[in-house]
Every structure is written in structure tokens, then in C-alpha cells.
Amino acid sequence: MISKKIEDAFNKQINEELFSAYLYLSMSAQFEALNQGGFAHWMRVQAEEETGHALKFYKYLYERGGQVKLTAIAGPETEWKDALEMIEAAYKHERKITALIGGLADLAEKEKDRAAALFLQWFINEQVEEEKHADEIVQTLKQIAKAPGAMYMLDKHLGSRKAGD
């Protein structure tokens, strides 16, 4: 049986993961409005991943005898000045999620819940990847800032992303 503290914390994380999906869908919409379909696609795939993360917590709670309690999801930002600002916001958001996952791992350790600690290890590893990918795009955007043709090529590259990439 899962402790009430971990159940509550995991329910909060479900909300954070679903907010992440909303945020990335909002960014996708702005990229569509900017006619940057590759970036929009990348963000939609990211949103799908975040929904998948929420579902992992959802299923885990039930597997451990907990209860899922869904709460209202805050509305995300809807406008950014350009691609760099959006991707920097995504990177900052991923760093926030990394900190939240770290807090959950600390809680699992404090509660001596080895099963939860093991479950969270996947998310810890996933967050390393999430931050890396967002930061790579930020750094690439900074490098190509004065080369519009390169922006077109990056947009096309990001449009080739498959789920799980």
C-alpha cells in the first residue's frame, strides 16, 4: 500500500505532467501560427510524451492501492516573441520538472518506499534526456540566429521527430 504522502505527491505530479502537455500544445499552436510546422510537430510529440508520463503515475497509483485525484490544470502561456524564447521556456520548464521529480525521489527515500524510489528512477533518467534535447535546440537556435536558411533546415529536422525520440 502506498503512503498518503506519496499518493498526494504523485497526484500533484500527474497535474504537472498534464500541464506540461498543455504548455507544449500551446507552443505547438504558436509554431503553427508562425508557419514553423517542424517545430509545431516536435512540440506535439513532446505533449504526447508528457501525457504518457502522467499516465505512468496514474497507473502506478492504482497498482499500489492508491487513488488518483485529478485537479484543474492551469492554463499555459499562449504567446512568445520567437522560437528561441519558446524553446528556452521549454528548457526552463523541463528543469522545473526535474526538480519536482527529485523532490519525489527524496520523499520516497524519506518514506522508505523502495518501490516508489525504483519507479521514479525511470523519470530521473527521462529528465536527463528531456533537458538535453531542449538545451540542444536552444544552443542550435543561438548559433543560427543570423542564418534564416539554417532555421528552415532546423524546422525540417524537428519535423522528422518520432514518438520516443
pLDDT in tens, 117-162: 999 999 999 999 999 999 999 999 999 988 878 988 998 889 888 7
Q: Would you say residue 55 lies in a domain?
A: yes
The answer to whether 124 and 101 have CB atoms below 8 angstroms apart is: yes
For all residues of the chain together, what is the average pLDDT?
Answer: 95
DSSP state of 141: H
pLDDT in tens, 95-116: 999 999 999 999 999 999 999 9
Q: Give how many domains the chain has, as a whole number.
A: 1
Q: Would you say residue 83 lies in a domain?
A: yes
Tell me the residue range of the domain where 120 lies.
Answer: 4-158
- Exposure string of 71-95, with b = 16+ CB inside 10 Å and e = fewer, is eebeebeeebeebbebbbbbbebbe
pLDDT of residue 33: 96
Distance CA 55, CA 70 (A): 12
Q: Is the pTM of this model over 0.85?
A: yes
Q: Would you say residue 36 lies in a domain?
A: yes
What integer is the mean pLDDT of 34-51?
A: 96
Q: Would you say residue 80 lies in a domain?
A: yes
Q: Would you say residue 110 lies in a domain?
A: yes
Question: Could you tell me the CATH number of the domain that includes residue 50?
Answer: 1.20.1260.10
Q: Would you say residue 165 lies in a domain?
A: no
By CB neighbour count within 10 A (0-12 exposed, 13-18 middle, 19+ buried), where does 112 fall? Answer: exposed
Q: Would you say residue 8 lies in a domain?
A: yes
Distance CA 141, CA 22 (A): 23
Q: Would you say residue 153 lies in a domain?
A: yes
Band (164; pLDDT cuts 50, 70, 90): low
